[in-house]
Structure formats: structure tokens, C-alpha cells
A and B are shown apart, each in its own frame.
Chain A
Amino acid sequence: MIKTLQKSTWVYLFTGLMLVLLPFFKDERWFLFLMIQIFVFGIFAMSYDLLLGYTGIVSFGHAMFFGVGAYSVAITLDRFEPSFMSLLLGIVIAMAVGGLIAFIAGILTLRLKSHYYAMLTLALANLFLVLAEKWRSLTKGNDGFTFQIPELPGGLEDHRNMVIYLFCLVSMVVIFFGLKRLTESPLGKILVAIRENEQRVVSLGYKIMPYKVIISVISGVVASFAGVLYAISIRFVDTSVFAIDMTLDALLMTIIGGVGTLVGPIIGAGIIEFAHHYLSELSDVHWIFERWIILFGILYILVVIFFPSGIVGTINHKLATRKQRKKEDEQSDKLAS
């Protein structure tokens, strides 16, 4: 098991390195922007996977953390001078506010049964959306606002997009390995047990609520950070960051990639973002490609029916079955000889 773990870690590190080198070969603006979106949504979807895939919590309001992150950094950089100190302050505020909201919402709502919790998070996220629309003095309402990000030193300013690309990539890799360790820790194992059978977890002597609150805070902080990166990458923020679409995107990415796998949501983010880009380009060929969301709906239904464990889940399952079969063959060979 440790051997395969190490192997997979090498694969992840190698892929990360390839991604670091990628912009040196292909540095078109649209491509870098697309990759940045994948990294940002990869982080966002991973934070969603902690809830859905590992703990079995279905939230329809995950966009609130993303939105809080985006607005916190945007407002900080807009109100103060666009320096690195302001950026750092914005990131700290984003993560602290995201974590605090997750904590309060968690304490108040996580006792509820799953579908009630899902409904309540949807309502909470909508509350934030309305707040962002109405509190115009702070958020400029539906119009949103652009803001400056700090100027990079020396010649780096000419390669600003590449620096943002690398910053988002490194963030994604660090968060991936951090969350991977978390899910493979004793606490992570309890989360999975909670997903599987809450009553049994209680009778083993664990309390459920602290775990749900802890994971919801960690997930909220990570989602807020994804919101920060999103705002920085487009240097603009509007109320769409609080929209239900954001949560649905994360849900779609997680389910297509594979729930409870962490790497799955990143792959899911890649597929959705690339498909979005190329399908939109095909709009000249047929009008349906302009309505790419219809195609995603169909894709979503097909995945849920035929690959309920998503891409990574299905591959893992196939590998495990093959390994098991090989072992059985070896055993029967041994018996035969």
C-alpha cells in the first residue's frame, strides 16, 4: 500500500512539474487564463470534495465561501493601495471570514439531516448574494468593480500572467498535498466513517459534530482561498461569485472526476473548463454549442448513470479488481502446482 502511495505521489509531483514547464512552451494569453481557471476551480472543487466525498455532507451553498474570498481580497485591494501587504491582508481576511462563516453556519446547521442542511446552505448562499447586490457602497452591486493588483518587481511585470499561473499552480499543488495528508490522517479516516454510518461512529465513542464543524471550516477556508485566486486572476469581481452556478460547477467537477479522491475534482475541473472553452468556440457550427450547459446536463446524467464513482473512482475500481484477479490467479496457480 505504501509502495503504491509513493508511486502515486511521484506521478502527482511529475505532473506538477510538467505543468510548471508548460507555459514556457505555450504562453498564449487565452491558454494561460484557461489553465489558471482550472487551478482555481480545482482548488474550489477539492474543498467541496472534502464535504461531499469524504464526509458525506451535501452543501448547495458552497459558493458563499468562494464569493466571500473573492470580495474580501477585491475590497481590500480596492480600498487600500494595491501593494503586496494589502494583498496579504486581503488573503488573511478572506480566509478568516470564510472560516468564521463556515464555523457559525456549521454550528447552527450541521445538526440537521442531510437534505435540510442542503436546503439551508442554499438559502444562506442566497442571503450572501442578496447582500452583495444590495450593499452597493461596499460591493457596487450587480455591476461589480475592477481593481488593481500589486505591480510585480523588475521584469516580472511583463510576465504577469505567467506569475499568476505559477502562483495558482503552486497553491493548488500545496493544497492538494495538504488535503491528501488530512484525508489520510486518523481524523480523515473518521470523516469517511461518518460518511459511511453516523450511528456506528457514535457507538464507537466518537462525537460527530466536532468533526463536521472542523471539516466544514477547513473546506470553507480553502474555498475562500479559491475565491481569492479567482478575483486576482480576472482583477474584477461581481455578484456572480455567489451564484448557485458556482456550487453546481464544483458539484459537477467533483462528480465527473470522482468523489472522495481529491485528484478527481482537479481532473473534473480540467474537463469542464476545456469543454466549456472548446464547446463555446463551436457555436458557429451549431447553436447548441452556445448553450453548452445543455450538453453538460446530459454529460452529468450519463456520468451519474454509468460512472457513479467518476473518472478516478472508476479507474481505481478497475485497478483494484485487476489486482485482486491477479492475486487469485497466482493463488490458484500455486494450488495447482
Chain B
Amino acid sequence: MESIIKTKDLTIAFGGHVAVNEVSVDIPKNQFTSVIGPNGAGKTTFFNMLSGQLTPTKGQVFFKGEDITKKSATERARIGIGRSFQITNVFPNITVFENVRLAIQSRENVRFQMLRHFTKYKAFADEAMSILETVLLKDRAKALAVNLSHGEKRKLEIAMLLALNTEVLLLDEPTAGMSLEEVPAILDVIKQIKEEENRTIILIEHKMDMVLGLSDQVMVLFNGEFLAQGSPDEIMENETVQAVYIGGSQDDKHTSEIGTD
């Protein structure tokens, strides 16, 4: 299977604490890969090194065979690695519509235009509205992002990621902090994205049911170390994985929740 992102001995230490230790993995192209692990496993830190928010102490990150370890988060977004954040991270005091429009503007490379009025780019506006419709936020287009509910903010995060239209989508716990009623709507959106061609999705999630239902591949981190990678079934049957944190009987395994980072 062709890989799109590859890491080699990826390591990062904060002071004396090694948060991620020599993780070497292949993330297959056009597949849905979930990264799971208990609290403090280093999942978000690993993500931050893929998206360029953190620079590894040691090791390399490759994107389509090219070493991107030295590339900044901006450059990685431009070459095709987009991400959402675990803690909701939108532009609070501008409208929902404008949040999405800004992502489209970046994708279309309209960066230093200062003479034309922004409303002249009508295609951006139309696309922003259509993306908001996809994530079921069209009615809230004119609201300030700060006034959205937590669930709506998570939808907006995904909308912005969709607007960037990157080849790789890194989703950091898209349902974190959501009420049970809000989760299905987000799941629908994620499923819809999954159906699209040429999309590689990498997801951090602690809701086990969701991971099993959606993923083609599951990758397990524990205490910053790589533990296992395989299909959901393989992972569930992997004895090391069970021993480490699923712990209990086979009956428990589908309902267990693995802690967040």
C-alpha cells in the first residue's frame, strides 16, 4: 500500500520528558487511520509534529517521499496537510462565514491583494456557504464564532479544514467535549468526507466505537512509544494492546474509552 506520510524515529523531548519516542510509521494514502492511546500517550504531540506545530528533537517526517521535517506549519498547510485542533481553535470575533472564507482564500492563494474589495471574490463566498451547508452550519453563517455552541465550533473547525481542501486531514478529537446528541452529526460529516476520493484522514479519538466503525487502520501509541498498527480487528485482538490498556475481558473492549492526551 502506498504511504503518504511516513515518520522515521520521530522523537521529541520537553526538558527531560520524552513525549514521543522513536516512532516510525507509514500512514497509507487515501485511507482512514486512527491514532489511539491513553492519556499522555503523546497522540497530540505526534500530530503537532506531523502538522509542523512542533519540531522534533530527533527523527524525520516525510510527505510523499519528501523530507518535510524542516518545513513550517504554514508550508505544510500549503503542500497539503491540514489540521483541526483538539481545543477549539477558530477566529472568535468574526463570523462563521468569514472563518470559512478565510480558509478558501488561503487555498486559492489570494494573499496580498489589498485594492480589490473582498466581496468581488464571489466564488469564495458561494463555496463557503456550500461547505457550511455540508457541516450543517448554514443557518449560523452570520453569527460570530464566539457565540457558537461547543459542538457548532467543532463543526466549524471541520468546515475550515474542508475549505482548505488538503490531501491529508488531521482531525484531533473532533468530538471532544461534545454532548451525546451532537456526536452523530459530526460523525455524518466525517463519514461524508471519508467517501470522497483522494482523501487521507488521520484521526485522534478516544471514543472507541467511533474509531472501530470508521477506520481502515488503527495505530496505537503508549507512553510516547509506538505499540501497534493494523486493521481495527487486528488491533482489538492484539494481546499487547489489550494488556497495556484495554486490560479487561473481551466483553469490555468495545465499550472501553481510551483517555485523551
Chain A contact residues, CB within 8 Å of chain B: 1-2, 181-182, 184-190, 192-193, 196-197, 199-200, 202-207, 210, 214
A197/B74 contact (C-beta < 8 A), A186-B121, A204-B103, A214-B112 known: no
Measured in the bound complex, the distance between the Cα atoms of B75 and A203 in whole Å is 9
Minimum CB–CB distance for A107 against chain B, Å: 17
A181/B112 contact (C-beta < 8 A), A196-B93, A197-B90 known: no
Minimum CB–CB distance for A308 against chain B, Å: 12
Specify which of B77, B94, B117, B121 is in contact with A181 (CB 8 Å cutoff).
B117
Which parts of B141-165 form the interface with A (CB within 8 Å)? 160, 164
Measured in the bound complex, the distance between the Cα atoms of B119 and A304 in whole Å is 33
> Can you list 7 A-B contacts (CB < 8 A)?
A181-B117, A188-B114, A190-B102, A199-B89, A204-B103, A206-B111, A214-B112
A203/B94 contact (C-beta < 8 A), A2-B119, A182-B114 known: no
B110: Cβ under 8 A from any A Cβ: yes
A204 touches B121 (CB 8 A): no
B105: Cβ under 8 A from any A Cβ: yes
Measured in the bound complex, the distance between the Cα atoms of B51 and A197 in whole Å is 17
Q: Which residues from chain A contact B107 at a C-beta distance below 8 Å? A: 205
Q: Please, which residue of chain A has its CB at the minimum distance from the CB of B117?
A: A184
A189/B74 contact (C-beta < 8 A), A199-B89, A200-B90 known: no
**3 interchain residue pairs of minimum CB distance:** A205-B77, A196-B91, A187-B114
A186/B90 contact (C-beta < 8 A), A203-B83, A205-B77 known: no
Specify which of B73, B78, B116 is in contact with A185 (CB 8 Å cutoff).
B116
Chain B contact residues, CB within 8 Å of chain A: 51, 53, 72-74, 77-78, 82-83, 85, 89-94, 98, 101-103, 105-107, 110-119, 121, 160, 164
B92 touches A186 (CB 8 A): no
Q: Which residues from chain A contact B77 at a C-beta distance below 8 Å? A: 202-205
B91 touches A181 (CB 8 A): no
A186 touches B74 (CB 8 A): no
B118 touches A205 (CB 8 A): no
Measured in the bound complex, the distance between the Cα atoms of B103 and A192 in whole Å is 13
Measured in the bound complex, the distance between the Cα atoms of B112 and A214 in whole Å is 9
Minimum CB–CB distance for B234 against chain A, Å: 32
A197 touches B111 (CB 8 A): no
A206/B106 contact (C-beta < 8 A), A2-B119, A185-B113, A186-B113 known: yes
Measured in the bound complex, the distance between the Cα atoms of B53 and A184 in whole Å is 30
Measured in the bound complex, the distance between the Cα atoms of B194 and A326 in whole Å is 41
A204/B111 contact (C-beta < 8 A), A190-B102, A193-B91 known: no
A189 touches B98 (CB 8 A): yes
B118 touches A186 (CB 8 A): yes
Q: Which residues from chain B contact A181 at a C-beta distance below 8 Å? A: 114-115, 117
Q: Please, which residue of chain B has its CB at the minimum distance from the CB of A196?
A: B91
Specify which of B102, B106, B118, B164 is in contact with A184 (CB 8 Å cutoff).
B118
A204 touches B114 (CB 8 A): no
Minimum CB–CB distance for B141 against chain A, Å: 12
Measured in the bound complex, the distance between the Cα atoms of B118 and A239 in whole Å is 41
Minimum CB–CB distance for A334 against chain B, Å: 15
Q: Which residues from chain A contact B115 at a C-beta distance below 8 Å? A: 181, 185
Q: Please, which residue of chain A has its CB at the minimum distance from the CB of B104?
A: A204
Minimum CB–CB distance for A162 against chain B, Å: 33
Q: Which residues from chain B contact A202 at a C-beta distance below 8 Å? A: 72-74, 77
Measured in the bound complex, the distance between the Cα atoms of B73 and A197 in whole Å is 15
Measured in the bound complex, the distance between the Cα atoms of B114 and A214 in whole Å is 11
